[in-house]
Structure 1
Amino acid sequence: MGSHAAPHHHKRMLVTAASLLLVGGGLLGLPRADGAPAPADACRTTAAHLPRGDCGPFWQVLAEDFNGDRVPLGSFSDCEHDVDTSAAHCGGLKGKYRDNWWAYPTGWPDTAADRGRQVVGVYHPEDTVSVGPAANGDGRMSIRMWRPADGGPVHAAAVVPRAVMQMKYGKYSARIKVTKLAPGYKSAWLHYGGGCEMDHPEGEWTGSLSSFHHPCGGGEQGWFPGSDDWTRWHTVSTEWTPGHVRFFVDGRQTGHDTRDVPDLPLSWVLQNESALEGPGAAPGSSAQLDITWVAAYAYGWK
C-alpha cells in the first residue's frame, strides 16, 4: 500500500468514448443497446446473505458476516504495528479480529487534508469502528464517523482486511448501507499504489454511489455511476483480473475498463472519511455506514 491518503482528485468526468464501449451498456445494470442484459459478476453476488465458496476463476480467502461477534468501541486501537504491510495489526484487537483486520492508525490525516478543504478528517478507528448486532439481530461492522461539537476535525475510519493485503488480482465484495445520513461524509473503498487506483464504491453519502478507475499510466479517469442512494442496502463488488477491472452493484456490471489496469500487489482499503465535495460536516454531526458481510477472493488460472 502506498500513502494513507488517496492521491487523486475524483472529478466527475464522463469516461472516454473507448471506455464507454468497454462498459458495454452496463451502466446502472440496464440492458445493453443490443438488448442483451448487462453481465453479472462471477459469483452472481446479489443475496443479503454472505456468499460462501469459490466461483469462476476466484477462490474465497475471506468470508465474514460479523454474526455472534462483539467488538466494542476502543478495540481498534494501537494500530501502528507494521503499517502498510501484511503483518500490520491493531494491538487492541483480540482473536480472529486481530488476525483478520487492521485499520489506519490514530492520527493519520484523511484525503481532505491534502486538498485544502475547510473541514478535514483524522483517522480514529478506536472511536469510530465497532462490531455487534443491529436491532434485528443481524451482525454488522459499523463505521460511525463524527465531528466534535467544538468544530475539530472529523473522526474518520479506514479498515483493511488483512487476508487480502498486498494481493495481486482478486474479487472483493461487501454488502453495505448508510444507516445514518448527514452531509460531509463519504467513502472511497480502493486499491491504489504505483500510480494506479481503482475505487469502488466511492462518493459523498448524500450523493451518488460510483466507481472510478485511474489508469496506471495516467490519462483520463473512468467514472461509472452505480446507484443514486447510499441509504439502501447494496452489494458492491470489484473484479480485478489481468488487463481488466470490472465494477458491480447488486450483481450487475456498472463499469469495465482495460486501460493500464494494475499488475502489482495492492491492498483493499475500506476507506471512509470527510467529504471532498459539497459542504463539510457540521460540528456535532455524525453519520454511519453498516457492513453486514465482507467476502474476498484470490484469482487463479483455471
Structure 2
Amino acid sequence: MLFLCAGLVLVAALVWLPRADGAPAPADACRSTGVALPRGDCGPFWQVLAEDFNGDRVPLGAFDDCDHHADTSAAYCGGLTGEYRDNWWAYPSGWLDTANSRDRDVAGVHHPEDTVSVGPAPGGDGRMSIRMWRPADGGPVHAAAVVPRAVMQMKYGKYSARIKVTKPAPGYKSAWLHYGGGCEMDHPEGEWTGALTAFHHPCDGGEQGYFPGSDSWTRWHTVSTEWTPGNVRFFVDGRQTGHDTRSVPDHPLSWVLQNESALEGPGAAPGSSAQLDITWVAAYAYGWK
C-alpha cells in the first residue's frame, strides 16, 4: 500500500561492497537488497511510496478506462477504485508500444485491462503481475506500462523494485524508464529471455551509457535507480552496476514501469505469453523535506 513518510531525513552511513576487481563500489543508499519492502528514509532520500501489493486484489479488467488526463500527474484509470485509483495509472488501451516505430515484424499495443492484475502468489505474497501475450491469430502483442502516481513529474529521487520474470518467452521485454526533453534513463531494460541491463541516454544527445546488471531476469532481483543532481546510478541487488554524469536530466520526469514487445531478436510467437511479477515497489524524493 502507498506509504507517505513525513519528518526529517534519517542520515545513513555510506556502505561499500566489493567489486570483482577488489575495489570498493558504492552500495544502494537504502540497502535495498532483501526480500522485504524497505520502509523509511535513507541518506539524502525521503520515502514517498512503499507498496507491497498485500492490500486489495485488483482483477484483470480493472486497469481500464485509463485515458483521463493521460500522462500528467492527474492521470487515473476509471476502472480502478479506492487506493489503487489514487496511486496507480497505466498507459491507456490502444497506445502503441516502442516496436511500432522500429520497423519490427511484431509490435505491440498497450492493453492494461487484460495484462495487469494484483493478488497473492501461491505462497501468499502479494504481487503485481504483468502478463503480456500475443493472440493466436497473430495480432499485436498486448503490452502494459504502469505508472506510480506518487512520483509522476518528480525531479530527482530513488526508485526501487523487486522483480522476477516468472514465465519467460521470446519476444517480450521491459524498459522501465524516465524520459523526456531529449533525456532518458532506462533501468531495468532488456528482453526477458536475455540479460538485465541499464542505459543512460544523455540529454545532449551524447553516446548512450550501457551497464550490464545480471545475466537473467528469471531470478528475483532488487533493482534501483538513484538520480541526483549531475548523477545517475544503477544498482542490482545492492551492487552498483552503472554510474554516469554526462548531461543528466535536471527537470521533472515520470517513472514508467514499461513492458512491451521486444526490439531485438525474434518476435513473440502467436498464442504465446510471458509474465513479470513485482513483489514490492518503493520510491523516494531527493533532498531535505
- Tell me if structure 2 keeps the 8 A contact 1:59–1:299: yes
2:265 is equivalent to residue 278 of structure 1 = yes
Matched residue type, 2:165: V
SS at match of 1:112: helix
Of 230-239 and 65-74, more deviation after overlay is shown by 65-74
Q: TM-score, normalised by structure 2?
A: 0.93
Instruction: Report what 2:59 is aligned to.
Output: 72
Instruction: Report what 1:31 is aligned to.
Output: 19
Matched residue type, 1:277: E
Counterpart pick for 1:249 among 236, 241, 254 = 236
Instruction: Report what 2:7 is aligned to.
Output: none
The 5 A counterparts of 1:81-230 are 81-230=68-217
Shift of 1:182: 0.4
Shift of 1:30: 5.7
SS at match of 2:24: coil
CA distance in 2, matches of 1:221, 1:169: 20
Task: Report the count of equivalent residues.
Answer: 274
SS at match of 2:119: strand
Shift of 1:36: 2.8
Counterpart pick for 1:52 among 30, 39, 42 = 39
SS at match of 1:96: helix
Q: 5+ unaligned residues in a row in structure 2: which ranges?
A: 1-15
Shift of 1:219: 1.3
CA distance in 2, matches of 1:176, 1:32: 24
CA distance in 2, matches of 1:164, 1:201: 17
CA distance in 2, matches of 1:237, 1:184: 25
CA distance in 2, matches of 1:244, 1:259: 8
Q: 5+ unaligned residues in a row in structure 1: which ranges?
A: 1-25
CA distance in 2, matches of 1:163, 1:67: 18
Shift of 1:301: 4.2
Aligned-residue Cα RMSD (Å) equals 1.2
Instruction: Report what 2:30 is aligned to.
Output: 43
SS at match of 1:207: coil
Counterpart pick for 1:263 among 246, 250, 261 = 250
Residues 249-287 of structure 1 show CA distances to partners (whole Å, capped at 9, x for unaligned) of 001100000000000000000000000000000000000
CA distance in 2, matches of 1:87, 1:301: 25
Residues 64-86 of structure 1 show CA distances to partners (whole Å, capped at 9, x for unaligned) of 00014210000000000001100
Distance of aligned partners of 1:68 and 1:84 in 2 relative to their CA distance in 1, 3 Å threshold:
closer
